[in-house]
Structure 1
C-alpha cells in the first residue's frame, strides 16, 4: 500500500508541471458571437471545430469571420451535446466546449455518427474480427505503476459485458493494444495540448494505441476535483479501442467531455452500444 501511495505521489509530481490555464479558455471570450461577427479568436474556434470533425479543411478560412460554414458547424456541435441549436456561442455552448475531453473527433470523415438515430455510435467496419476475441495489451515507456491497475480494471469491466477477454503481456512481446503516457507532440498526428484540454486519445480497431496526456493531473481512488479519474478515462478510451464512437448520453462513459473529480462506470448506453456493434 505504501508503495502504491508513493507511486501516486510521483505521478502527481510528474503531471503537475505545466500551465494552469486550459488551451480551450479562449472560447470564453467568444460568448455571444454569432454569424456576421468578426471577432478575435474566431479563427481559433474554427480550428477547434475542425480538430473534432465539425469543419472540413476546405471550410477552414484563415480569418475571424463568423460565416455560414461556422454557424452550421456550431449548430451541429450543439445538437450533439443536447444544446439548443441556435448557432450562437451561448453560455451552455461555451461551458461544453471548454470542458476537458477525449481527443477522438466526434465526426469521422464527415459522418456524424453521434446523430445516427441511436444514442451510442460506432462504425461497422471498425471492429475486431470474430476470430480475435482475446486481446493482449502492454504498457510502454515510463508508464506509472499506479496507472496500470485502473487500466486493468477497465479492461475487465469491458470483458464482463462482452465476449472479449484481455491479458497483459511483457513489453517485449507482441500485443494487440498498447498504452502509454505522452506530453505534447508525440508523433501520431494528434499532439496533446497541456493541462485541461485533451485528456487522452485512442485509435479504432485494429490500430490498438491508447495514449494519456502526461500534463494532466490524474487520480485513482483518492478522488480530487482538480484531477481526472484514470479508471473513467481508461473505460472511455478502451471503448474506442473496441470500436465505439462518442455517445450523446451525458451519463454514458462514451460521452466526450469530463469534469475534474468525475467518476463513471459503464452505463446502459455503453453496454447497448458494444453489444449492438458485436451483435451480442
Structure 2
C-alpha cells in the first residue's frame, strides 16, 4: 500500500513539473524582465537584459537606431542611444528625467498597453480660444494625429468581426464594440454599422487572435500588449485573445474592460495617435486591469474634431 501511495505521489509530482511551468508562463507578464533592470544606468556598461530593454524602446517608438544584428557581446551594452531613449520615455510620460530606470519608470513600462508605437511630441499644442467676454486665453491640448494625418473620406463606416481565436461565451463582444463606436459617433459626423462576418467589403475588421496572426506583430500573451490597430483607411483592429477580457461595467481587478480598450483602438482606426502626457485621456497608451475608461476625455474629443475639421 505504501509503495502505491509513493508511486502516486511521484506521478503527481512529475505531472506538476511538466505542466505547471506552462501555466505560470502563460500568466506571466511579458514585460517582467524590466524589474531586473531597475536602477540600471549608463555606468553599468554591460548588463544582462539591456538588449530586451532596447527592443522594448524600439517597439514603442523611443529608440530609432537599434540594430537587432549587433555583434556578440555588445547586445547588452548601455550606450548613449539607450540613455537618450530612456530620457525620452521619461519625458514623454512626465516622469523624473534622469536616464536611470528608477522604480517609477519601471512601473510605467510594465503596465499593459496598446501595441501602437508612441510618436512622441514633448511640447503640447497651445490652442487659442476666447471666453464669453471676448478675451483670449490658451488651453493645452495633448492630442496627436497619426503621422501623415490619414483620414477617412467616407463618414458612413461599416465594421465586421473576423477572429482566429475563441473568447469566452459570456463576453458580450458586439455590445462592447457597439457602445464604443457610438461614443465616437456622438462627437463626430461618423456613423458605424455592423455587417455580416463574411463580408469582405467592411471598412473596419475587428479580430481576436493569439500569438502570430499574419500582420507581422505577434501578440505576447497575457498582459504586455493588449491590442493594436491600423489607421485610415486600412481599418484593422486586433485584440489579444489571451487577455482576461470583461464586458461588465465593473470588470474586477483581474479583468480588462473590453469597451475601454475598444474605445482607444477605434481612436487609432479613425486617425488619432497616443496622448502620453494625459493619463485620463482614452488615447493614453496604457490601462490597468480593473480600470474603466468608457467616456471620451475633452482632449480626445478636441483631437478627433480637429482631425476632421469639425467645428
Residue deviations 1:180-229 (CA, integer Å, cap 9, x gap) = 00010111011100101000010011110000000000111152111110
Shift of 1:80: 1.1
**Structure 1's 124 and 52: CA in aligned 2 closer, same or farther, altered over 3 A?**
closer
Using the alignment, how far apart are the partners of 1:140 and 1:80 within structure 2? 35
Out of 270-279 and 95-104, give the one that drifted further: 270-279
Equivalent of 1:66, from 67, 78, 81?
78
The yes-or-no answer on 1:234 pairing with 2:262 is yes
Q: How does 1:169-188 map to 2 (within 5 A)?
A: 169-173=195-199, 174-188=201-215
TM-score, L = length of structure 2: 0.79
Using the alignment, how far apart are the partners of 2:197 and 2:75 within structure 1? 47
The yes-or-no answer on 1:168 pairing with 2:194 is yes
Structure of greater relative contact order (alpha carbons < 8 Å, 6+ residues apart) = 1
TM-score, L = length of structure 1: 0.88
Equivalent of 1:123, from 141, 146, 156?
146
Residue deviations 1:142-188 (CA, integer Å, cap 9, x gap) = 66561111011100000001111100011232110000000101110
Equivalent of 1:138, from 160, 166, 187?
160
- SS of corresponding position for 1:166: strand
Show structure 1 runs of 5+ residues with no match.
1-15
Shift of 1:127: 2.9
Using the alignment, how far apart are the partners of 1:129 and 1:187 within structure 2? 24
The yes-or-no answer on 1:87 pairing with 2:99 is yes
Larger Rg computed on CA atoms? 2
The yes-or-no answer on 1:206 pairing with 2:233 is yes
**Structure 1's 157 and 17: CA in aligned 2 closer, same or farther, altered over 3 A?**
farther
**Structure 1's 17 and 90: CA in aligned 2 closer, same or farther, altered over 3 A?**
closer
Show structure 2 runs of 5+ residues with no match.
1-22, 126-140
